[in-house]
Structure formats: structure tokens, C-alpha cells
């Protein structure tokens, strides 16, 4: 048998220039083109696959019947399946299902057989309906009976969408739609395709050494086994995939649906269930409910964990309340600033009152001390010095009243003159204290002045004039 396999591989030199894919999974990725490599299925999928290994689904189409002509473009499809539970996990949204393909377009995924499938707005002519059982990760069952097919007509028969039952038929399954992680499944279903080794016993069979050619984004590779393949190398965004069924010579077998092209969208880091399974984020025990509807996920370790968190939560609110009073002092501190600024305002008021008192006192003191030391009556009126020389020649001949006038300064002069000299130097550092005692001292000598005037009427007139000036 090994010899026959080697002969078959060497006899196909005229086939498409591409590389054959190995017939088994390897631990290391195998490069099958410049961009793409074949890898082993994800670990979670390999673990779950054993749960469905014993299932041998048997699929049948109840309606429409083969070769039936319908007088309506609305068709109700009823399906049956045995030896496989059809369901969908409500949380993970995956489960064993049926893939329904109308003509050569993927139509619908069926998880519930109790609800009929309605095909609407069909074009007149011939249509072919294909149905096969699939695993939750979109890999098709390949046992005999897992596939069903029927051809029906709307109003009339045509040559379109009518595959030849005597020729092999390729049914494209995956990839299709959107993907969020690599590797991506490449899968298909074959009908009327003989097994490779057994078919080679007939040398006249031109389809005995068939191949499947896959082209992705312009890069092609060929493989000769009917098996699901996982590939890496897709670019983010849109990728196109083409599958072809080839004969012994590497030529496409002309039959309906044997050449199919699909457009997929690959966006890394997808968060759907299948993407997380492929990346290994979800293990078999986490998603076993997609292959066994009676499986219940056990989560014992997660229950004790919320208990300490509940005790820790009441400690948080008291911590939050403490920083609440912090904004209050800031609000009270702001009104204290303006009253402090207003306090220096009254300070200029005493300075204004003190300033007018200082200059008249300073002007009066130096004048009596220098010019007229004898007469004390004229000292308070001496700030005006200029009129004194004009009046002095008139009282000069009268010498007699001068000794009488000297008696008054003997009592008054020692008090103001000596104190004024000492106080004059002391008043400069403290001008505000000295003006109060000076005023009463000047007023007192003015009161005894009229007494000598009564005794000396002739001499009183010049003294009064001098006092007035």
C-alpha cells in the first residue's frame, strides 16, 4: 500500500505547481506557502473533540422533496437529525448545529429543529439545498449520513444549480464570516469522492488521485486528504479563499459548486467565544457545556473570594468621609484675609492730625532763643521776626521800663528756655508727646501780662503792639 501511494505521488508531475500538505498533525508549524503554515488544532478544541467522537449524526431533509416543482417562491424547509444533540449554549452562543447551504451560498446555521426554516423570495428555476452536521467550532462531521442534499424547482426546471450526482462534489464549509484569532479552520465536505488508496486499484478511474487546491490571497497549495486543517498567516482585514476539486491531471472537475470563493474578515484580538478558545484563554472545562448540554460549570473557589471583599468594603466609606471637611477650612480662611487688609487704613488718620501741630511748634522755638533772650512777653509772638526791628527804635530812649520788664522773664524764662533746649532735641524722636505741654506754658505768661500794664500805662502801649505783631 505504501508503494502504491508513492507511485501515485510521482505520477502527478503535471499538476498545479504547489506543495502538498502532510497527512497528519505535527507539533511544529509546517510552511505550505510563502505566507501560510499549517499548525495543530488548538488544545481546547482537541480536548472537546473527544466528547463528540462517538457521535455519528444522520441528517435528512423532509421538505422539499427531491426534484419537486413548487408553485411558490416561498419554501418551508424541515430537517431531521439523529445521533447528535442540536443545541446552543445561551451564554457561550456555541453548540452542535446544522449548516444549511442554498445553491452555493451559506444561508443559515440551525440550532433548533422545532422551528421550520423558511426560504423567501427564491428566483424561478432550479435550486439545490445542502445540509451537513457540524461541531461547535464549525468543523463538519465526515461520517456517512452526516450530509444530505436535495434539488427542487421553483415554477420550472433550469440547468443552473444542478450538480451531476455521478461526479464528485465539493461543499465549501470554512472559513467564512468573521474571525478574531489564528489559527483559522479550513474545512469542506466531499461527496462521491473515492478514497485515495482504494480508488487507485482501477487505472481507468481519472478521479482516483484527486486533490484539493486552496488559494488564499493569491497563494496556492494542494493537499490530498479529507481532513480539517488549521492555518496561520492571514492578514488583518479582508482575505479571500478559493477551493477547487482537481482530478488526476490537476485540472478542476467540472461540476456545480466544485469551485467556490469566500471572503472573510480577520480582526485579531476578537472577544467572541471561538476566538478566546483558539487563543487558549478558555480551557475545555470552561466551555464543556458547548458539547454537553447537561454539563454544569463548577465554581467552588470563586465563592470564598467575595467574603473578604465584603468585609473590606465597609472600611472604605469612613475613609471617604474624612476628607470631606477639608474644603471647609479653605472657605473660612478666605474671609479672614480682607479684614487684615482693612486694619492699616485707620493708621494715616493720627498722622494727619499730628503733622499740622509739629511745624508751628518748631518755628516758634528757635526764634526767641536766638534773637530776644531778655523779654519773655514777646517770646510767644516771636514767630514773626521781621516787624520787630521797625518798632525797636521807638522804645529805645525809654530805658526805665526795661528793668521792670526783666522781672517777668526771671520767673518765666528759666522754665520755658531751659526746657525748650532740652526738649527740642528730645522731641525729634517723639514729636507727638511734646506738643501737649508747650501749649499751656505759652498761654500762662499771657495772663499775667495785663498786671504791669496797670502800673505803667505809658509803657503798656508799646508792649501790646509788640504782642499783637
Same-domain check for residues 196 and 55: yes
Residue 459 lies in a domain: no
The tens digit of pLDDT for each residue in 103-135 reads 998 889 999 999 889 999 999 999 999 999 999
Same-domain check for residues 281 and 179: yes
Same-domain check for residues 238 and 380: no
Report the domain count for the chain: 2
In the structure, what pLDDT confidence band is assigned to residue 208 with cuts at 50, 70 and 90? confident
Contacts 24+ apart (CB under 8 A), 44-50: 44/277, 44/278, 44/280, 44/282, 44/283, 44/284, 44/287, 45/137, 45/277, 45/278, 47/283, 47/284, 48/136, 48/137, 48/284, 48/287, 48/288, 48/290, 48/291, 49/135, 49/139
The tens digit of pLDDT for each residue in 388-419 reads 444 444 445 444 444 444 444 444 444 545 55
Q: What is the CATH number of the domain that holds 266?
A: 2.60.40.10
Where does a domain end: 252, 272, 290?
A: 290
- Residue 375: domain span: 362-386+416-428
DSSP label of 362: H
Q: State yes or no: pLDDT of 83 exceeds 80.
A: yes
The tens digit of pLDDT for each residue in 123-168 reads 999 999 999 999 999 999 999 999 999 999 999 999 999 999 999 9
User: Stretch 181-185: mean pLDDT, rounded?
Assistant: 97
Same-domain check for residues 75 and 199: yes
Where is pLDDT greater, at 298 or 32?
A: 32
Residue 281 lies in a domain: yes
Residue 14 lies in a domain: no
What's the distance, CA 420 to chain centroid?
A: 86
Amino acid at each position: 500500500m505504501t508503494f502504491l501511494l508513492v507511485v501515485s505521488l510521482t505520477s502527478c508531475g503535471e499538476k498545479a505547481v504547489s506543495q502538498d500538505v502532510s497527512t497528519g498533525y505535527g507539533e511544529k508549524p509546517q510552511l505550505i506557502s510563502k505566507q501560510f503554515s499549517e499548525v495543530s488544532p488548538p488544545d481546547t478544541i482537541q480536548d472537546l473533540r473527544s466528547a463528540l467522537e462517538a457521535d455519528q449524526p444522520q441528517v435528512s431533509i423532509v421538505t422539499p422533496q427531491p426534484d419537486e416543482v413548487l408553485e411558490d417562491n416561498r419554501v418551508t424547509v424541515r430537517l431531521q437529525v439523529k445521533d447528535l444533540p442540536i443545541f446552543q449554549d445561551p451564554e457561550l452562543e456555541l453548540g452542535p448545529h446544522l449548516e444549511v447551504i442554498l445553491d452555493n451560498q451559506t444561508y443559515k446555521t440551525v440550532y433548533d429543529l422545532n422551528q421550520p426554516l423558511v426560504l423567501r423570495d427564491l428566483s424561478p428555476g432550479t435550486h439545490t439545498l445542502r445540509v451537513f452536521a457540524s461541531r461547535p467550532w464549525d468543523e463538519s462531521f465526515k461520517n456517512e449520513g452526516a450530509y444530505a442534499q436535495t434539488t427542487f424547482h421553483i415554477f420550472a426546471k433550469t440547468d443552473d444549480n444542478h450538480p451531476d450526482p455521478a461526479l464528485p462534489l465539493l461543499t465549501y464549509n470554512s472559513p467564512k464570516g468573521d474571525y478574531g484569532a489564528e489559527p483559522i479552520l479550513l474545512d469542506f465536505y466531499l461527496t462521491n469522492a473515492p478514497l485515495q488508496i482504494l480508488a487507485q486499484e482501477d487505472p481507468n478511474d481519472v478521479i482516483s488521485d484527486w486533490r484539493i487546491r486552496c488559494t488564499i490571497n493569491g497563494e496556492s497549495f494542494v493537499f490530498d486528504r479529507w481532513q480539517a486543517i488549521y492555518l496561520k498567516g492571514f492578514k488583518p482585514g479582508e482575505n479571500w479563499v478559493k477551493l477547487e476539486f482537481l482530478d488526476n491531471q490537476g485540472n478542476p472537475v467540472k461540476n456545480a459548486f466544485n469551485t467556490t470563493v469566500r471572503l472573510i474578515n480577520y480582526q485579531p484580538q476578537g472577544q467572541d467565544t471561538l476566538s478566546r478558545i483558539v487563543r487558549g484563554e478558555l480551557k475545555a472545562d470552561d466551555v464543556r457545556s458547548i458539547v454537553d448540554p447537561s454539563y454544569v460549570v463548577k465554581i467552588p473557589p470563586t465563592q470564598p473570594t467575595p467574603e473578604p471583599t465584603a468585609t473590606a468594603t465597609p472600611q472604605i466609606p469612613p475613609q471617604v468621609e474624612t476628607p470631606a471637611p477639608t474644603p471647609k477650612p479653605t472657605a473660612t480662611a478666605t474671609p479672614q484675609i480682607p479684614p487684615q487688609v482693612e486694619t492699616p487704613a485707620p493708621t494715616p488718620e493720627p498722622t494727619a492730625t499730628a503733622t499740622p501741630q509739629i511745624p508751628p511748634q518748631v518755628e516758634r522755638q528757635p526764634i526767641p532763643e536766638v534773637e530776644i533772650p531778655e523779654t519773655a512777653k514777646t517770646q510767644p509772638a516771636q514767630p514773626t521776626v521781621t516787624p520787630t526791628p521797625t518798632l525797636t527804635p521807638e522804645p529805645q530812649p525809654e530805658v526805665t521800663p526795661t528793668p521792670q520788664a526783666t522781672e517777668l522773664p526771671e520767673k518765666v524764662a528759666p522754665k520755658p528756655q531751659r526746657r525748650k533746649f532740652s526738649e527740642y532735641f528730645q522731641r525729634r524722636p517723639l514729636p507727638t508727646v511734646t506738643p501737649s505741654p508747650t501749649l499751656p506754658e505759652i498761654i500762662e505768661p499771657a495772663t499775667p501780662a495785663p498786671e504791669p500794664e496797670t502800673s505803667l500805662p505809658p509803657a503798656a502801649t508799646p508792649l501790646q503792639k509788640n504782642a499783637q505783631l
